[in-house]
Amino acid sequence: MRVGVVNEDDLAAFRLHLIAEVAKLDALDVSELANRDEAKELLADGKIDVLAFIGRAITSLVEELDTGDLFFNRKRQTVGRAARPRY
């Protein structure tokens, strides 16, 4: 599967680790893309199968999370602050 990743948060140091770990999966062909417009065009043209955005505020959102924000309820829905991202 061809995966395109657009990083809009230059402060997201963990993104390098995340992308590197995902790229290790044999089933995925990961490409870092320059911007949303390029990524959307590649997706529309069928040149990538999946598109992932690392948003501008991801660093601050991740830093604000605590363990309680990551729990799931019986319906398998995220509860806590992780369920309501603020962009």
Q: What residue segments make up the domains of the chain, in order of their start? A: 2-83
| pLDDT value for 14 | 65
Mean local confidence (pLDDT), 65-78: 60
Q: Which residues contact 79 (CB under 8 A, 6 or more apart)?
A: 71, 72, 73
Compute the distance between CA of residue 56 and CA of residue 53 in angstroms, rounded to an integer.
Answer: 9
Per-residue pLDDT tens over the stretch 16-71: 777 778 788 888 898 889 899 999 999 999 999 999 888 777 667 767 777 666 66
**pLDDT tens per residue, range 6-18:** 888 766 566 677 7
User: In the chain, helix, strand, coil percent, each to 5?
Assistant: 40, 20, 40
Strand (E) or helix (H) holding 63 = helix 58-64
The pTM for the full model equals: 0.60
